[in-house]
Homo-oligomer: A and B are copies of this chain.
């Protein structure tokens, strides 16, 4: 199994989610993160002074999938999260050595 971790723009979460359903992905875990990267933040002005805000709000998605669908999931994310603008984010893939569904104790791909 693979864990696919993607850092995307917050506005793209819904698109990504819908792009994964057809692939049989039934679950994922999402968190709010701050991204530092080329995109480089923005400037906020308080009382005439400019403050450089270096981070950009991003969404981190973690999806565990069976090895055989991993490639498709990565592609689907890459397409659906793409705006072509800087800051679109990254996808990283990791090996999962074990997976368990807490409710049933099922393991491996049954657990997903």
CA distance A10 to B74 in the complex (A): 29
CA distance A99 to B27 in the complex (A): 21
Q: Which residue of B lies closest to A106 (CB)?
A: B90
CA distance A31 to B34 in the complex (A): 6
Beta-carbon contact of B74 and A100 below 8 Å: yes
Residues of B within 8 A of A26 (CB): 37-38
* A32 CB-CB contact with B under 8 Å: yes
Among the interface residues A7, A33, A90, which one has the most CB atoms of the partner chain B within 10 A? A90
* A93 CB-CB contact with B under 8 Å: yes
Closest 8 CB pairs of A and B: A27-B37, A93-B98, A88-B103, A88-B102, A91-B100, A31-B33, A30-B34, A89-B102
From the candidates B84, B85, B95, B100, name the one contacting A90 in the complex (CB within 8 A): B100
Beta-carbon contact of B93 and A81 below 8 Å: no
Q: Which residue of B lies closest to A64 (CB)?
A: B92
Residues of B within 8 A of A27 (CB): 35-38, 90
